[in-house]
Amino acid sequence: MVVFGGNDYAMSVEKPRELSDTEMSEIGDHIYETALNKGIQPRVETGLEHAEKYLEMGVKHFSIGTDLWMIYEWLQDRVGKVRNVIEGDKRG
């Protein structure tokens, strides 16, 4: 299995925080396509919004965020709803 770490790559080519999202995406896609062409499955770290692109490419293994990030997003959603209720009570 091949895993592409964008930050690790940027540091290894001595360009930390200098590569654009587009450049990083193109580099990652090249690595994934090369791996697939050689019969090696890549694991792609992405959000759900990009998963279809990689499924069409032939990728079968994904990391779609960490459990801590998922908990954080869930809490942000819930806290936001509670804030809306509280703020609505203050206005009424």
* Number of structural domains the chain divides into: 1
89 within domain boundaries: no
10 within domain boundaries: yes
71 within domain boundaries: no
Q: What range defines the domain where residue 30 resides?
A: 2-65
pLDDT digits (tens, 9 = 90+) for 47-77: 778 889 999 999 999 987 777 777 888 888 8
Instruction: Using pLDDT thresholds of 50, 70 and 90, give the confidence band for residue 46.
Output: confident
pLDDT at 89: 67
18 within domain boundaries: yes
Distance of CA 15 to CAs 3, 42, 44, 65, 79, Å?
19, 24, 22, 24, 38
Return the H-helix or E-strand segment holding 28.
Answer: helix 21-37
38 within domain boundaries: yes
